[in-house]
Structure 1
Amino acid sequence: MTREISANELGIDVSRGEGELFKWFLASFLFGKRIQQDIAAEAYRVIVDKHKRDTPRKLCNCSWQELVDMLGEGHYVRYDESTADRLLKLCAKLNEEYGGKLGTLREQSQDRKELERRLGEFDGVGPKTVEIFMREAEKVWY
């Protein structure tokens, strides 16, 4: 069985609010793909820690090529092009439909089932990504 990397191991404290929840959503998105967890963690660190793309707005201000390059820098190369495309769609949807805030998505959801359905509506977010994200988010949302 693959060891699960926690938010805490990435320096993310979801109890500190919106910014930290977005970082965990981004990490969960990377972990949700068929790729080694250590590589996904490194790609997260490159994007967030090194390049400071830690909000939906900052991430959306990247070009597709910049994202591909960052993913490559983190050795997340198997899915780098499709992941870059989906990350840009993810932050655009979050910005346009929820004002850039996962908390707004949560507030607009009547219950956990609806929240998980809304999360799954993001391009590239499947059941595994939702499961990983909710493992930490439920600590502050439920």
Structure 2
Amino acid sequence: MAKSITASELGIELKPDDDASLFKWFIASFLMGKRIQAPIAAQAYRVIIEEEGRDTARKLQHCTSRELVSMLGRAHYVRYDETTAQRLLDLSAKLNAEYAGKITQIKYASEDRHAFEQRLGEFDGVGPKTIEIFMRDAAKVLF
């Protein structure tokens, strides 16, 4: 079993009500939730968030699919690059439209952790593995 990469290993300091860090960890978790090596997913996170500065749902939504595919390619995240790019765009659009671009708004809209996890699962491409990775580190500051 490959070692899991934590938020802190990516330089993300999760804090309660800190949407910036929660969004970054959500994107990292999304990328690591796919059948792809964790170091490649971590590099894809670094390219998109750190190098390209797409560190909010609004900034991410304003990428084109082609730009995202190129970013993923630079990280050698090529196996699912087209679908991953589209799902990242869909994810950011849904987060912006339904939750003002904020993970904390998902929390406030949820009665409890289970409801929160169900809402995360409503994002296209976010399955049990992504939720498990995200909650492993985020639950401490969310619940």
Query: Which residues of structure 2 form unaligned runs of 5+?
Result: none
Runs of 5+ unmatched residues, structure 1:
none
How far the C-alpha of 1:141 sits from its partner, in A, is 1.1
1:102 equivalenced with 2:100 (yes/no): no
C-alpha separation in 1, matches of 2:101 and 2:43: 24
The equivalent of 1:14 in structure 2 is 14
Matches within 5 A, 1:1-142: 1-15=1-15, 17-142=18-143
Q: What residue identity is the alignment partner of 2:7?
A: A
Cα distance in 2 for residues equivalent to 1:13 and 1:107: 21
Q: CA deviation at 1:136?
A: 1.0
Coordinate RMSD, CA, aligned: 0.7
Count matched residues. 142
Identical aligned residues as a percent: 61
Q: Which residue type is aligned with residue 140 of structure 2?
A: K
Q: TM-score, normalised by structure 2?
A: 0.98
Structure-2 separation of matches of 1:14 and 1:80? 27
Structure 2 CA distance for aligned equivalents of residues 92 and 14 of structure 1: 23
d(CA) in 2 for partners of 1:132 and 1:90?
17
Runs of 4+ in 1 over 6 A off after TM superposition: none
Q: Tell me the TM-score normalized by structure 1.
A: 0.98
Distance 2:7 2:138 in 1: 10
**Distance (whole Å) between structure 1 residues aligned to residue 122 and residue 131 of structure 2:** 10
Structure 1 residue identity aligned to 2:26: F
